[in-house]
Amino acid sequence: MLIAEKFYENVRQELHGIRVSGLYKSERIITTMQGSTIDTEGRSRVINLCSNNYLGLSSHPRVLKAASDALIERGFGMSSVRFICGTQDAHRELERRLSRFLGTEDTILYGSAFDANGGLFETLLSAHDAVISDELNHASIIDGVRLCKAARYRYRHNDMNDLESQLVAAGDAGARFTLVFTDGVFSMDGTIAQLAKIRELCDKYGALLGIDESHASGFIGRTGRGTHEHRGVFGSIDIITGTLGKALGGASGGFTSAKKEVVDLLRQRSRPYLFSNSVAPSIVRASLEVLDIVEADSTLRDRLEANARFFRKGLESLGFAVKSGEHPIIPVMVYDAAIAQRLAARLLDLGVYVIGFFYPVVPKDQARVRVQLSASHTEQELEDALAAFRVAGKELAIIP
Ligand SMILES: *Cc1c(COP(=O)(O)O)cnc(C)c1O
């Protein structure tokens, strides 16, 4: 066999392995805008409980208008990285507005949060330094950390005693600077990081604190500014990364927000910023509109909170094992992988779109269906979805 043929055979084997282990991901084709209900190929008006469209802004009329006005006035794209000829006034304006919103000095935009995390650690830390991560941190943080030469430490998920042990270990090893980095909100459980305690520990050991606010910016905290607001440490986080692709409009784009000199250095050295295209003008202007909407009042985040509370209560009173929490991510625990898949499939038959998660995405015997609420869900939709959960739960003997 030719080497090339062997290569393609190897790829096919790899795919086969993914299929037989039940991990092959196929994509459902949607034929409408993102929303509380969607049409998919073959089904219409499915209640959507699996998007990150927390505030319902990805189809909000004001956001669409801002994007389409910008498209006409400022064009489709910049065809340049930021530092050559890719910075419009709106890019700088959005960076200023995000800084104000997040309570930081300055912000740098990236093509995605994945890029923001990918270009962060390598730029700021060297082999003399240490980075300490929660073991369940997002893949983009893990990859970003891999790219830097700092010594790496991991603490058990959300375990403050273990975090302290790692801070001690980094200090004992003689780290010059230590950065603790965590997801503000963890996407599989909706766990909200204990930022006040983490900040306290960082202060005790002289460490910096960074958070990824992808599942928080726009709706966590009383005015939606994020986990730091929720935990009472607004204004005292050293580095905040996040996405424009979830609650804040849902298109794409990411950012890092920090002290001015940190952002300045990222503009000089961060590779995904230097070597990847500018965020499109329509997304930038629409994001400014998003900030206008979320800063004007807390209507949407309040509605999201009420929807999440209503749905959580409803599932609990039906008898489902719901992981406790206060985030609009609601994990419905079924423990067994096959049951998680069957529950998701049956719910889709009944007009409700959710996703089942199982090992290795979540620990073994922790299979679940993850529900995500949006401010755009109506009470009727939520009642219909609960009725479907009741039918499917009884059929599969998950609930009495
Ligand atoms: C979704 C997510 C990202 C990636 O965001 P993109 O802007 O889509 O690249 C990064 N970090 C966390 C914690 C996320 O949940």
What predicted TM-score, i.e. pTM, was given to this entire model?
0.97
Task: Supply the pLDDT for residue 1.
Answer: 73
Residue 113 in contact with ligand 1 by CB distance below 6 A? yes
pLDDT grade for 244, boundaries at 50, 70 and 90? very high
Mean pLDDT value across residues 80-89: 98
Cα of 214 from ligand 1 centre, angstroms: 6
Residue 183 in contact with ligand 1 by CB distance below 6 A? yes
Residue 182 in contact with ligand 1 by CB distance below 6 A? no
Between 120 and 25, name the one with better pLDDT. 120
- Number of helices (H) and strands (E) in the chain: give both, helices first: 16, 14
Of 324, 299, 298, give the one whose Cα is nearest residue 313. 324
Task: Count CB-CB contacts under 10 A for residue 136.
Answer: 20
Three-state SS letters, 315-368: HHHHCCEECCCCCCEEEEEEECHHHHHHHHHHHHHCCEECEEECCCCCCCCCEE
Number of the ligand 1 atom closest to the C-alpha atom of 138: 13
| Residues classed as catalytic | 187, 215, 246
φ/ψ of residue 8, rounded to 5 = -65, -35
The DSSP 8-state label assigned to residue 278 in this structure reads P
Cα of 241 from ligand 1 centre, angstroms: 9
Residue nearest to atom 14 of ligand 1 (CA): 214
Residue 372 in contact with ligand 1 by CB distance below 6 A? no
How far apart are alpha carbons 164 and 161 in whole angstroms?
Answer: 5
Cα–Cα distances (Å) from 286 to 67, 73, 228, in that order, read: 5, 13, 25
Task: Supply the pLDDT for residue 284.
Answer: 98
pLDDT in tens, 310-368: 999 999 999 999 999 999 999 999 999 999 999 999 999 999 999 999 988 888 899 99
How far apart are alpha carbons 63 and 236 in whole angstroms?
Answer: 31
